[in-house]
């Protein structure tokens, strides 16, 4: 059976394009029969994935990073009614900067091993999440987290994980904050907020923003809180790099809860992202929901 491969050449600052010959050789060596489509502009992967489903491809392999995966999932979801089986199985060839979703699933970063996992054909279904009208499969963020992304996009000379760290420091120095109303399944919060991270996976941009998230548990994991000073925010930053005990969610003023629905209202507009892709406009209201065990993913 032929699979569709969607390549985002821009991933990891065009490193994905440089590595394509290596990926192509691995696919052919593993005996994977594939048809290739290459993204040529922002959000093009959404259109390519939707078109792939229309053309009858039941397996779509994304060669790129977390944003590429998120775009492809949104394209596939254009053909999903929210009830029936998801229209396509996805496979992942990790060519991004952080590859957070791959990390969270325990999939290999080595390209040959990643291709072998695709060739094996074993699947496991992960949860799918939604923010307003956009789907995501790893993480969404409001307030400080996407504010960091707005700074991240402006950094040109620094590459890799260091770029995320510099962006985070820049954002903390700006010290954005909001007043918010949060309502979830059986609880609510009203008060100041510095950050809000909604995870299906544990990690985003190399940071463990929702360290106890599980993409197989049917729950959104919300980490949120308020740090009133820059010093307090800087104290939290290195602890977001800790996966286990000692993570920033254990600090005073921080919270981590699990839910199936979440509504957020902010006193002023905030940037927001799904799987690292920033929304076109800043918003004050966000509705989150989860669809348990929907998306079949090729696993090792």
Decide if 123 contacts 298 (C-beta within 8 A). yes
The pTM of this model reads 0.93
Tens digit of pLDDT for each residue in 72-111?
A: 999 999 999 999 999 999 999 999 989 999 999 999 999 9
Sign, CA torsion 291/282/279/66: negative
Tens digit of pLDDT for each residue in 212-254?
A: 999 999 999 999 999 999 999 999 989 999 999 999 999 999 9
Decide if 248 contacts 115 (C-beta within 8 A). no
Sign, CA torsion 259/146/148/190: negative
SS3 category, 180? strand
**DSSP letters along 39-83, please?**
--STTHHHHHHHHHHHTT-SEEEEEE-HHHHHHHHHHHHTT--SS
Q: Which domains, ranges and CATH numbers included, belong to the chain?
A: 3-121 (3.40.50.10330), 139-292 (2.60.200.40)
- Pairing relation of β-strands 3-7 and 34-38? parallel
From the CB of residue 16, how many other CB atoms can be counted at a distance below 10 Å?
25
């Amino acid at each position: 059976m032929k699979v569709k491969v969607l390549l985002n050449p821009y991933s990891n600052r065009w490193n994905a394009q440089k590595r394509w010959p290596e990926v192509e050789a691995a696919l052919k060596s593993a005996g994977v029969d594939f048809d290739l489509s290459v993204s040529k502009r922002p959000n093009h992967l959404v259109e390519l994935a939707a078109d792939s489903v229309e053309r009858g491809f039941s397996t779509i392999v994304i060669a790129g990073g977390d944003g590429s995966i998120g775009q492809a999932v949104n394209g596939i979801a254009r053909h999903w009614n929210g009830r029936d089986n998801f229209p396509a199985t996805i496979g992942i060839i990790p060519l991004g900067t952080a590859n957070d979703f791959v990390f969270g699933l325990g999939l290999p970063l080595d390209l040959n091993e990643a291709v072998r996992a695709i060739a094996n054909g074993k699947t496991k279904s992960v949860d799918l999440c939604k923010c307003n009208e956009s789907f995501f499969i790893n993480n969404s963020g409001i307030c400080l987290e996407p504010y960091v992304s707005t700074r991240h996009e402006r950094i040109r000379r620094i590459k890799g994980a260091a770029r995320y760290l510099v962006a985070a420091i820049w954002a903390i120095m700006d010290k954005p904050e909001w007043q918010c109303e949060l309502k979830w399944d059986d609880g609510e919060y009203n008060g100041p907020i510095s950050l809000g991270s909604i995870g299906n996976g544990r990690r985003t941009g190399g940071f463990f923003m929702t360290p106890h998230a599980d993409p197989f548990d049917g729950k959104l994991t919300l980490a949120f809180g308020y740090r009133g000073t820059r010093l307090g925010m800087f104290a939290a930053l290195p602890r977001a790099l800790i996966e286990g005990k000692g993570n920033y969610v254990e600090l005073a003023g921080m919270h981590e809860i699990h839910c199936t629905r979440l509504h957020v209202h902010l006193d002023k507009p905030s940037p927001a992202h799904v799987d690292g892709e920033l929304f076109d406009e800043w918003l004050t209201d966000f509705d989150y929901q989860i669809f348990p065990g929907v998306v079949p993913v090729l696993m090792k």
